Amino acid sequence: MKVSNFTLLLILAIFMVVGAALLPKIDVADNPRPRQGKTLTVEFYWQRASAKVIEQNVTSRIEGLISAVKGVESVSSESYFGSGKVVVELKKEADVSSTKFEISSLLKQIHKRLPEGVSYPVLTGGEVVNEKGRSETTQLLLTYQINSNLSDEQLKEYIERKVEPIVKQLEDVRRVEVTGGVSKVIEITYNPFILANYGLTAYDIEKSIRSFIGREDIVGEVVHHDSDIEAIGVDGQRAGTKKRIDLYLTTGKFVKPLEQMPVGVVDGKTIYLNDLASYEYKNKEPDKYFRVNGLNTIYLNIHVDAKANKISLSNKIQKQIKETEKQFRKGIYLTLTYDGAEERESELHKLVWRSLMALGILLFFVWLTKRDWKYLTIMATTLVAIILTAVIAYSILDIRLHIYSLAGITVSLGLVIDASIVMTDHYSYYHNRRAFLAILAALLTTIGSLVIVFWLPEFIQKDLYDFAWIIIVNLSVALFVAYAFTPALIEQMEYRSYQQGHIRHKKLVTGWTHFYTRYVSFTQKHKWIYIIILVLAFGIPFHALPPELGKDQKDEESHKVWHDMYNATLGSNFFQLKCKDTLSKLFGGTMRLFSESLSDNTYNSEKDKEKKLTIRAQMPLGGSATELNEKVVILENFLSGYKEIKRFETRVESWGSTTVVEFKDEFKKTSFPYLLESKVIGKIISIGGADWSTSGVSERGFSNSLNLQFRSNRIEIIGYNYDRLYRIAEEMCKTMKQNSRVVDLTIETPGHENQEDEFFMDYNKERMALYNFDLIASHQALREILSGYDIEKYHDTHLSSDMHLKSSEKDRFDLWHLQNAYMKVNGNDTKLSDFMEINRREAKNCIPKKNQEYILRVAFNVLGTYTYTDKYIKKTIKEYNAKIPVGYKCRNATYGWYEDNGTQYWLILLIVVIIYFICSILFESLRLPLVIISLIPVSFIGTFLTYYFSGVEFGTGGFASLVLLSGLTVNGGIYIIYEYLSITRKNRQKAGTALYVRAYNHKITAVFLTILSTVLGLIPFFIDGKDEPFWFSFAIGSAGGLLFSVIAIVFVMPIFMRLNHKDNNNQIKNHK
């Protein structure tokens, strides 16, 4: 049954109305929705246990247990001092709930067999957002500056009580912290030697304080009968409903002064706190500082999940805080000083503007080409219909629109209009839908080229996944609209494509037709000339020939005969040194030019990041956060004098400090960031007293410390035995030191490159046994001298403050005392150095593993070019992989380096295969698809030349342009060849030049329009230029290749066609 045009248009209108209604409900965010919810985390604690002890006794056992579970893809772990963590990645097809339940059951079983003192392993994760516990997956979203007439301590307590709980309840909020200001503390200082004389310990003081300051605890539960009358039931039991009620125990507070608190009884005498210690109410020495623009005020920092929708979450948090602020007491004000969602929101607005701009350009182009309002109305209506119908698809497929998917919509506008142009051009002339098969094949080739994105390496796929997916959806909708509704719209508006024009225009067409017919005939007679020119233009990759093959294959079986043949010819010194460069220049073509224009690391995403100056400082061993803060304040005062700085944020902790400087937009692209960095370097050198470094602006940065030295190259060593692995790393360092170009060698723990030093004790076991030395008692005595820690919070009618217990000798007892002083051990004066040697080493407070293998890195710098460095690293890795035992291996772990085995380029061949099969089905031929495929390398010539002459970074955007070009450049050829075959079958004539030219004339206008519309759709991405590296690279590569594809379609495609040029004269006459 034939459906009327009115019915089809009514259905289209319904789709558009539904799409418009769903438009406000589309999920729009700044980040893609997490695709992987298959990460589980197991965490456990073991107080005072070293990382090595935890790894051997707990981590390795849990790893081995989990690795055997079905559905587990990989297991990695990190063992720290006092704790450990195991991260489990599940396979894509794994059932998260059942796997999590199985692991949970195994953890319950193994806990009984773990050493005493190990906490119960806690299993988390497996949700949609699954990395809640990892600090690296949280980001600072909002910072509020708090002003009030209250004291710092009162203000912090007020905000923690009124604001923090409310904000924490919001979804995706991970951490809320109140920083800055000065806190008070009751510091209790005891004399360890007096304690030793009484036979007491610091724990006795701590226990007495906890007992006497008042406590409130649930100590159990009791059974309660709610019946008021004691009635006895028939079974002799009390009647009424039973309830279990918690038993809440409250101990009274010590009402006397703190110094009169009893600690213990020694020889019948009560010992009070003032007999052992003194206390002082003082400002607490902060262990960390946070400041914005050097202002030492109180800040409220809100950290959220890195994958959350920051724009909507920021608005939600700000709204909640405004509501809460209304309930504040007078005199407390919150001022928003930082909003991490502002830039993201600006980026989204920019992309929406780009999409609207692309839409406007395309519609203007459509009107300009035809100067027909009916034609413009058809194109505009179909475009709007495609967009609104696609909105329905987004809702059904639950697609989130974010930065990359919105850019995909912008790019797809130039692609989806192609189907409408071709169908309108064909239907208005022939009044049938036979062009649909050609449109279907053309769009399927584009979709096929984008499908391979899902098999790309992760470092490329992360940018292109949603981008490709949104274009595929839009192209599918465009195909549906072009077939079902565009013809109905043409009939309803009575649009006809008239083949008439000015006499001058007809003369030009006739003249071009004669020229083109002769050109095609000439190519049929002299194909070999053009083929040679094309091969040389594309290039023969002599420059990519390796110097040698099979060097790392020692055994005879793996060594191939053709390796010897290659090494004797193309790998010989004569060819490599004297012929290779000359042949590369002569025959390398555009491929050689393109490869020379590539940077050292094509896919390094670090270049895409905003330019910020990062200044780090680290105190020598034993330095405190307060001491470091004094130096950082000098730096902040220096930075405050520059109006070009937008904002600088400082964090100071015991391990070191970080100051991040952001520049105003108008100065980001000037020389000021480099000028400021050079001035900062001079300033931090004058400050001294710490290890300083800078990064983020200049390529190399600055460092005045071996510990903070930037090392650009890393070799990762993996193995199953940690001690053996460390020896291999040491041996590699010794070998590499022999090369004078290799400097700054060190052995690193991945993720923990700058670990602090520690003192360790090497015991003399013979002397300990001879003198019956009590090792545990000596450690206890040493702990009494060096300890200092927080205990409880003290409350009374006048104040509320933390309490800190410390030894009076903590700051005085240094390394000299440790080696020379006597201390009481079990009542005897003992000199510890008589029984042990005290040495210094780097503290290995973290031991990482992946899939039950340990990981270490040898980090270094090489004084030489990138090519020399790359060859040297590969040579070193090959040598060590050949000689280290089975179970150990080395690999390149340089920052930004990826193991490029060419997978992404081989996938382009997969696109070629997909296109071949699609065209084979359409043309019913095995030869004609090869003609279509020949267009791809020719269009690549245009892309190569574009990148070479423009100097634009290739990157992920460049590779995306190659993927898209593989599917787009063949579309014009498909339209022309399909039309050629239709004419041939319709007229029942032999394949000939005149028929080919006739098909060319019928379709070339539509082909030009589709190519130009796609290029014009990319114009908005040129506006921001190199400020947007990915999109600029993608746009310039795609545009260059598409424009060059015009040459491929017009002049190259006829070369590979098999046309009968003998009967051309008769065919030309018939055509006339």
Tens-place pLDDT, residues 911-922? 899 999 999 999
pLDDT tens, position by position, 954-968? 877 888 888 889 888
510 exposed, middle or buried (CB, 10 Å; 0-12, 13-18, 19+)? exposed
| Lowest mean pLDDT, pick from 39-48, 282-291, 901-910 | 901-910
* In contact, 1025 and 1001? CB cutoff 8 Å: no
Q: What residues are paired with 224 via a beta bridge?
A: 243
751: left (phi over 0), alpha (psi -120 to 50) or beta: left
Q: What is the DSSP letter of 988?
A: T
Report the topology of domain 39-126. Answer: Alpha-Beta Plaits (3.30.70)
* In contact, 938 and 442? CB cutoff 8 Å: no
At 35, the pLDDT band (50, 70, 90 cuts) reads low
**Any residues with CB less than 8 A from the CB of 1022 and at least 6 apart, and which?**
1032, 1035, 1036
**Residue 453 amino acid letter:** V
Distance between CA atoms of 165 and 604, rounded to whole angstroms? 41
pLDDT at 796: 66
Q: What is the value of pTM for the model shown? A: 0.63
pLDDT at 943: 92
C-beta neighbour count of 406 within 10 angstroms: 20
**Residue 196 amino acid letter:** A
pLDDT at 558: 46
Task: State the residue for tokens 């300051």.
Answer: 213
Distance between CA atoms of 559 and 537, rounded to whole angstroms? 36
Tell whether the model's pLDDT for residue 634 goes beyond 90: yes
End-to-end Cα, the chain, rounded Å = 41
Question: What φ, ψ does residue 755 adopt, rounded to 5°?
Answer: -85, 150
Distance between CA atoms of 547 and 580, rounded to whole angstroms? 10
Q: What is the DSSP letter of 1026?
A: G
Q: What is the mean pLDDT of residues 372-390?
A: 89
Question: 3-class SS at 804?
Answer: strand
Closest CA to 1017 of 555, 321, 360: 360
* In contact, 309 and 663? CB cutoff 8 Å: no
CA distances in angstroms from 545 to 370, 472, 548, 561, 581, listed in the order given: 52, 37, 9, 18, 11
The residues of the chain that CATH labels 3.30.70.1320 are 136-183+286-340
Residues 952-979, buried b or exposed e (16+ Cβ, 10 A)? bbbbbbbbbbbbbbbbbbbbbbbbbbbb
Tell whether the model's pLDDT for residue 904 goes beyond 70: no
At 732, the pLDDT band (50, 70, 90 cuts) reads very high
CATH architecture of 345-536+901-1071: Up-down Bundle (1.20)
pLDDT at 240: 57
727 exposed, middle or buried (CB, 10 Å; 0-12, 13-18, 19+)? exposed
Tell whether the model's pLDDT for residue 604 goes beyond 70: no
Cα radius of gyration (the chain): 38
Hey, which bits of 664-735 come out as E strands? 691-695, 702-703, 713-719
CATH architecture of 605-703: 2-Layer Sandwich (3.30)
Distance between CA atoms of 1022 and 1041, rounded to whole angstroms? 15
Q: What is the DSSP letter of 253?
A: P
Mean pLDDT of the chain: 82
Closest CA to 1003 of 420, 501, 425: 425
pLDDT tens, position by position, 778-790? 888 888 888 887 7
Reported as half-sphere exposure (CB side, CA atoms, 13 A), residue 205 has a value of 36
Question: Both tokens of residue 689?
Answer: 């007293």
Distance between CA atoms of 949 and 728, rounded to whole angstroms? 47
Distance between CA atoms of 129 and 173, rounded to whole angstroms? 12
Closest CA to 409 of 459, 451, 359, 368: 359
> What's the sign of the alpha-carbon dihedral 922, 926, 927, 933?
positive
Class at the top of the CATH hierarchy for domain 136-183+286-340 = alpha beta
CA distances in angstroms from 804 to 82, 193, 278, 426, 920, listed in the order given: 21, 19, 12, 86, 81
Report the topology of domain 713-755+846-892. Answer: Alpha-Beta Plaits (3.30.70)
The residues of the chain that CATH labels 3.30.70.1430 are 39-126, 605-703
Tell whether the model's pLDDT for residue 700 goes beyond 80: no
CA distances in angstroms from 627 to 180, 286, 299, 655, 809, listed in the order given: 16, 11, 22, 12, 20
Distance between CA atoms of 621 and 167, rounded to whole angstroms? 38
Distance between CA atoms of 431 and 435, rounded to whole angstroms? 10
pLDDT at 392: 92
| Lowest mean pLDDT, pick from 399-413, 523-537, 975-989 | 399-413
pLDDT at 290: 82
pLDDT tens, position by position, 167-217? 888 888 888 888 877 777 888 899 888 888 888 888 888 888 877 776 666
| Lowest mean pLDDT, pick from 629-643, 649-663, 756-770 | 756-770
**Residue 999 amino acid letter:** A
* In contact, 745 and 860? CB cutoff 8 Å: yes
pLDDT at 289: 84
CA distances in angstroms from 882 to 521, 739, 878, listed in the order given: 60, 20, 6
